[in-house]
Structure 1
Amino acid sequence: MFLRIKKKYFIPAILSIFLFIGVSFKDDFFEISKQLEIFTTLFKTINQNYVDETNPAELMDKAIKSMLADLDPYTNYFNEQDVIKFKINNTGEYTGIGAIITRKEDKLIIKEPYKGFPADKAGLKAGDEITQIGDVMLSDFKDDASQLLKGVKNTKIEIKYLRQGKPMTTQLILDEVEVKAVPFFGKVDDKTGYIVLSQFSQKASSQTKEALEKLKADGATQIILDLRGNPGGLLNEAVTICNLFVPKGEVIVTTKSKNEKYNNVYKTNREPIDTIIPLVILVDGKSASASEIVSGALQDLDRAVILGSRSFGKGLVQRPIDMTYGTQVKVTISRYYTPSGRCIQALNYNKKDKSGKATKTEEKNYNAFKTKKGRPVFDGGGVLPDVEIAETKTSMIADALQKNDGIFNYVTYFYYKNPTLGDKIPTLTDSDFADFKAFLKREKTDINTETEIALKNTLEKAKKENIDTAIQSEYEQLLAALQRSEATMIDKNQKEIKNLMLDEIIKRYQYKEGLYQYYIKNNIEIKKAVGILNNTAEYNKILKI
């Protein structure tokens, strides 16, 4: 009887599934075709009938980018110029000046020159303001000015810039620049190796492997892998880096999508370097994507102790897809899941609040999962470290002082005020901190916390509605109260701000390499990591070994 009933209803059920899929596909295809036809007609009508001359390429570029902005911040369209520009993201190699730069009004600001590369050789320093590149005045050039600093190797470019307000000139000679995935590795002590992994480019795993092997050959019997500030990169490189520490055939990450071809299970496929060497991984709120694959997977496999503060929470996978005329779209194609089955995506871009911002999963709604040895871990908001360090969490006021370049600009002033400091590490005193606050006041630096920005935006809207006069007095009182509160917050977070100032000061005199050398002797997270590694009982207890 059971078999007969099963036969009777099984075939119609299968047919109904195929019918549903077929209807669904037809409906989707029709809706896409319909909307595409509407947009094409609109685009053609606007360009043919608008009162002034239009730029079809510019209009299309804006239309596409505005449409994608409604999805998530990782799904992006790249026109022909964008595709060339973003080569550095995947390879870590490009021809240029070897410096981090940023645009500010009609100038390019040197944020950090890399030691031994063209900008450094030309004598450019952090804080220098480039005003002219070749014959191009940046005040007249509104496009991406960084492209003016790229070209064929050995190209010579004349530069005009301001240093502390003084006009200066120099000549840049372009060269190949490799941004190392592992910018530093060394020994903290006789037995502790330290590896900084700053990005997951194509050479990330090979450079990490080389560092690990050299440290082991030099006597390291325990390792600290620093992923703080690492924004991620290539998924395959993350899997291969995990493979250095876990056996062949281990599941590291699974991707799931509505599109079946993007459903994949990524396993280690090589023989490891060392499956038993004690390992601590450092993460913070800027460790994202591939950094979270490595830290999340090695946490789930009970292979490493994770230390620091909760990671960023990016559990989405992107894939670049080539399109016509040299353009490209980077699409979020799937979510990734760590070996325990958790997705650590923090924001839900499919569900937005009234202001249009993606919603965040509340902690009470996190789901619990188990590591290989049964330790509880959770989804919903980044990788939560096994050992949290309160000092690694940045305050709102410190974030604001970094975003508005308050710390950066003060350190530029400090650098030229103290030209002979050299390799000495200064101790920042209360007097130095008072000097910093006086500098912010003297330079009329807007702190620009989110609250301050919102208040200023309110006044701008009031001006448009001609009601600003009526609220001007109350606005000024509220702004003054807010600024007093910000001043109090700066004092309250003096220790954190001093540490950020000191980091920037060390980079000015000793480059990034000097900062890492300072870290291995003084950084609180590294000290805590060494303490755990040196305490076998504590290390084993955390990992349930």
Structure 2
Amino acid sequence: MKKFIPKKIALSLLLLLAMAITLLSFQPRNDKLFNIAKNLDIFASLVRELDSYYVDEINPDELVTVGINAMLAELDPYTEYIPEEDSDEFRMMTTGEYGGVGALIGNRTGKNMILMPYTGFPAQESGLKVADELLKVDGVDVVDKNTAEISSLLKGPANTEVEVVVKRGEQTLSFDLTRKKIVISNVPYEGMVDEETGYIKLTDFTTNAANEVARSLEHLEMMGAKKIILDVRDNPGGILTEAVGIVNLFIPKGREVVRTVGKLENVNAEYKTRNSPKNKNIPLVVMINERSASASEIVAGALQDYDRAVLVGRKSFGKGLVQSTVPLSYNSQVKLTTAKYYIPSGRCIQEIDYSEKDENGNGSYVADSLRKEFKTRNGRTVYDGAGIEPDIDLEPRSFAPITYSLVTRSLIFDFASEYAMKYENIPAARQFEVSDELYGEFVAWLQDKEYDYTTRVEKTIEDLEKYAEKEKYFEDIKGDLASLKKSVSHSKEQDLISFKDEIKNALKDEIVSRYYYQEGLIAASLEHDPELLRAVEVLGDMDRYEQILSPARD
């Protein structure tokens, strides 16, 4: 029996066909618009015939979406189709606002649980805690659901009710929450790292980011800050105008922050500072890393180009592409790349060229020899084509295999959860320390837990052994390999002693998060953050600071 095309799809196809017929009527056959119309006609015909004749039932909505996404995948990873049902999620990502309970959820050791309730929102105020295992949401069993499905159940219009049932230890607890408008802060932490140095952690560039940083600056200056560290490590970026506003806090009025240059005239724009700066002279360090992208790179790059801040960390991500959102039929939309960012020195921060792809579909990188040289305001040399390079380049932080194993197997997470059920309070986040006695309890707790691991050296020897067997040399070196394996074989017990301080720091962060949430976690981590200590060191030597920004000229 012949099936009918759903009304929504039928209307879409009719619109496509009408557009195709119009274009076919008025365009010469060699025109690009003719090719567009022809292919739209083919696509519409194909979907219609599949719906009529394919042996099994098809879902035209899903099929067309797959086709659209496959087409966009040929361009760059930032151009994406947003169907009507995903519009709320997209709006939340760009504004930082949504209706819900205010909690980060995730899966640990196969269990869906609360990973972080945000301070001042329904989840935290109702008494939900980190590590509470989610069992039901409004009567729906969520034990086997994925986190996206659970998140959808928890979200909803402000002032509506939602019941959440969790398991905490051996208890099953029920919580009645009233959803509210959730606005995630762009600045989850601000504080003094020493008597003169203020620290601002900026995690996003959603609506109001610049105002939040401005307020943090005012608070820190009231607390005695004479120097500032702005940390945009791991910040993926966001709204361009918020980045301009943050640069304006440190740069005089009327200065160019960024230009956008694209194919169409209406996407070409120049963004300048509009106001007098909050503090144009305060010594400033900006911290970046390989996950600082887009708006983060505009802030760091513009401040570097004006020699207004010393950059500390590692080379940034290299996203210099501008996306614009264009509405489509039936409340869908497309977020597509329309231009590139150019910062004040004239350099573009985009690292990968997606117009030139290899046989695997990967974009091409600019060869070091082809990167162009630019100058900062004081004549320092900077380069394009590879993100933003810091003035002080730091090695990536590494952790011992035992620490990595304890974290990834959620053993530190589980111990912290049990600790929080035993003790109602702990000292302030930055004052709390894991004592030798508490560390001893943790070591004893590990006795019946599985957390073995393979060190890099052991893995290298295993690989050597495999290659030796494959190439028939194994018998010749078998004895040497056995001796080598024995000499480098790790001892979990010894590693618990050798890497005690590192493991203690991980324990401290996890325990503090149970009592002081995200703000406390950031505060606690400051005490053992080697990259932050280097930033403080830079600001502690003002002669060196000035020398970096204004090097002696020949």
| TM-score, normalised relative to structure 2 | 0.77
Cα separation, 1, equivalents of 2:340 and 2:86:
25
| Letter of the structure 2 residue corresponding to residue 252 of structure 1 | V
**Structure 2: which amino acid aligns with 1:425?**
F
Task: Kindly report which structure 2 residues correspond to 1:43-58, keeping only aligned pairs within 5 A, or say none.
Answer: 43-58=47-62
1:132 alignment partner, one of 136, 158, 165: 136
Q: 1:336 aligns with which of 341, 345, 348?
A: 341
| Among candidates 409, 412, 417, match of residue 410 of structure 1 | 412
Q: 1:35 and 1:72 mapped to 2: Cα distance?
A: 21
Q: How does 1:89-128 map to 2 (within 5 A)?
A: 89-102=93-106, 108-128=112-132
Aligned match of 2:326? 321
What is the distance in 2 between the residues matched to 1:76 and 1:437? 46
Report Cα offsets for 1:432-489 as digits up to 9, x if no partner: 89789878736x9999xxx9xxx9xxxxxxxxxxxxxxxxxxxxxxxxx9xx99999x
Mapped partners of 2:234, 2:367: distance in 1: 24
- Given the alignment, which residue of 334, 348, 351 partners 2:353? 348
1:284–1:393 contact (8 Å) kept in structure 2: no
1:227/1:291 contact within 8 Å kept: yes
What is the CA–CA distance in structure 2 between the aligned matches of 1:34 and 1:542, rounded to whole Å?
A: 59
The answer to whether residue 533 in structure 2 is matched with residue 524 in structure 1 is no
Which residue, 533, 539, 543 being the options, matches 1:537?
543
Distance in 2 of aligned mates of 1:131 and 1:202: 34
Distance 1:195 1:530 in 2: 13
The sequence identity of aligned pairs, in percent, is 39
CA distance in 1, matches of 2:251, 2:278: 8
1: CA distance, partners of 2:29 / 2:277: 45
The aligned counterpart of 2:163 is: 158
Pick from 285, 293, 305 the counterpart of residue 288 of structure 1: 293
Deviations 1:86-125 (A, max 9, x none): 2222222222111112368996432211123211123322
1:55-66 pair list within 5 angstroms:
55-66=59-70
Tell me, in whole angstroms, the C-alpha distance in 1 between the residues paired with 2:325 and 2:403.
31
**Whole-angstrom distance in 1 between the partners of 2:184 and 2:227:** 27
| Amino acid aligned to 1:410 | I
Judged with a 3 Å threshold, the aligned counterparts in structure 2 of structure 1 residues 394 and 371 are, in CA distance, closer, same or farther, namely: farther
Question: Residue 109 of structure 1 aligns to a residue in which SS?
Answer: strand
- Which secondary structure state, in structure 1, belongs to the residue aligned with residue 207 of structure 2? coil
Amino acid of the structure 1 residue aligned with 2:256: V
Q: Which residue of 2 aligns with 1:248?
A: 253
Report the Cα distance in structure 2 between the residues aligned to 1:24 and 1:363, rounded to whole angstroms: 45
Q: Distance in 1 between matches of 2:433 and 2:298?
A: 37
| Partner residue of 2:81 out of 70, 77, 81 | 77
Residue 450 of structure 2, aligned match among 434, 441, 446: 441
Give the aligned partner of residue 9 of structure 2.
Answer: none
Does 1:425 pair with 2:432? yes
Structure 2 counterpart of 1:177, from 150, 170, 182 = 182
**One-letter amino acid of the structure 2 residue matched with residue 283 of structure 1:** I
8 Å Cα contact 1:107/1:138 also seen in 2: no
Change (3 A) 1:79 1:296: same
Q: Measure the CA separation in 2 of the matches of 1:82 and 1:389.
A: 39
Of 6, 27, 31, the match for 2:31: 27
Aligned to 1:13: none
Deviation at 1:527, TM superposition (A): 2.6
Q: Which residue type is aligned with residue 213 of structure 2?
A: T
Q: Counterparts of 2:224 and 2:113 in 1: how far apart (Å)? A: 43
- Structure 1: how far apart are the matches of 2:78 and 2:509? 30
Deviation at 1:152, TM superposition (A): 2.7
Structure 2 counterpart of 1:441, one-letter code: E
Map 1:267-282 to 2 at 5 A: 267-282=272-287
Shift of 1:266: 1.4
- The farther-off stretch of 378-387 and 210-219 is 210-219
> Counterparts in 2 of 1:137-536, with a 5 A limit?
137-138=141-142, 144-163=149-168, 167-390=172-395, 392-393=396-397, 406=408, 408=410, 410-417=412-419, 419-420=422-423, 422-423=426-427, 425-427=432-434, 441=450, 499-500=505-506, 502-536=508-542
Q: Which amino acid aligns with 1:67?
A: M
Q: CA 1:410–1:258 in 2, change beyond 3 Å: closer, same or farther? A: same
* Alignment check: 8 A CA contact 1:310 1:385 kept: yes
Give me the whole-angstrom Cα distance separating, in 2, the residues matched to 1:502 and 1:308: 24
Partners of 2:233 and 2:292 within 8 A in 1: yes
Letter in 2 for 1:414: A
1:498, CA displacement in angstroms?
A: 6.3
Structure 2 residues not aligned, in runs of 5+ = 1-26, 464-484
Answer yes or no: is the 8 Å Cα contact 1:76–1:331 preserved in 2.
yes
Deviation by residue 1:352-402 (Cα, 9 ceiling, x = unmatched): 344433344444543332111111112222211111232x44579799879
Cα separation, partners in 2 of 1:146 and 1:519, compared to 1, 3 Å = closer
Distance 1:343 1:497, change over 3 A: farther
Query: Whole-Å Cα distance in 2 between the matches of residues 368 and 433 of structure 1?
Result: 53
- Please state whether the residue corresponding to 2:31 is helix, strand or coil: helix
Q: Secondary structure of the equivalent of 2:42?
A: helix
Alpha carbons of structure 1 residues 393 and 172: separation in structure 2 relative to 1, 3 Å: same
> Which residue type is aligned with residue 180 of structure 1?
S
Aligned length: 485
Match of 2:450, SS state, is: helix
**C-alpha distance in 2, partners of 1:432/1:376?**
54
Using the TM superposition, give the Cα deviation of residue 313 of structure 1 relative to its aligned residue in structure 2, in angstroms.
1.7
Alignment check: 8 A CA contact 2:248 2:276 kept: yes
TM-superposed CA distance for 1:496, in Å, is: 6.6
Deviation digits for residues 318-370 of structure 1 (CA, Å, limit 9, x no counterpart): 11122221111111111112211222223333333444333444445433321
In structure 2, what is the Cα distance between the partners aligned to 1:307 and 1:332?
Answer: 30
Aligned residue identity for 1:214: H
For 2:111 and 2:65, locate their aligned partners in 1 and report how far apart those are by CA, in whole Å: 25
Rate the CA distance shift 1:268–1:436 in 2: closer, same or farther, 3 A: farther
Alpha-carbon distance between aligned partners in 2 of 1:335 and 1:517, rounded to the nearest angstrom: 36
TM-score using structure 1 length: 0.78
Evaluate the alpha carbon distance shift between residue 138 and residue 485 of structure 1 in structure 2; reply closer, same or farther with a 3 A threshold.
Answer: farther
C-alpha displacement at 1:414, in angstroms? 3.2
